[in-house]
Amino acid sequence: MWYLRAVELLEELKFEELMCKATFIRRDSGGSVVAIQCLHVDDGFIVADKGELGRIKKEIEGKFT
């Protein structure tokens, strides 16, 4: 159930899940990938463009309380 809810929340934040389950990407308005989010059990790992990381992290923390 946690995973299904996490997918919903990440989609609200404009992440799209790849064919590899639990792996999501986020693109900028030009279509370039600016973040990769991976989920494992009840945790996550994010790699993002240096200029985007802080903002994306705050958005995620706002959804996952």
Query: What's the average pLDDT block by block, 10 residues per block, for the chain (65 residues)?
Result: 91 94 94 94 89 92 87
- 14: exposed, middle or buried (C-beta count within 10 Å: 0-12, 13-18, 19+)? middle
Q: Give the pLDDT of residue 10.
A: 95
Strands of the chain (E only): list them: 15-17, 23-27, 33-40, 43-48
Contacts of 21 (CB under 8 A, 6+ apart): none
Q: d(Cα 4, Cα 39) in Å, to the nearest integer?
A: 11
What pLDDT, on a 0 to 100 scale, did the predictor assign at position 1? Answer: 85
pLDDT computed for residue 41 by the predictor: 83
pLDDT of the residue at 64: 85
pLDDT value of position 48: 95
Q: Mean pLDDT of all residues in the chain?
A: 92
Q: Where are the domains of the chain?
A: 2-63
Query: Contact 37/44 with Cβ under 8 angstroms?
Result: yes
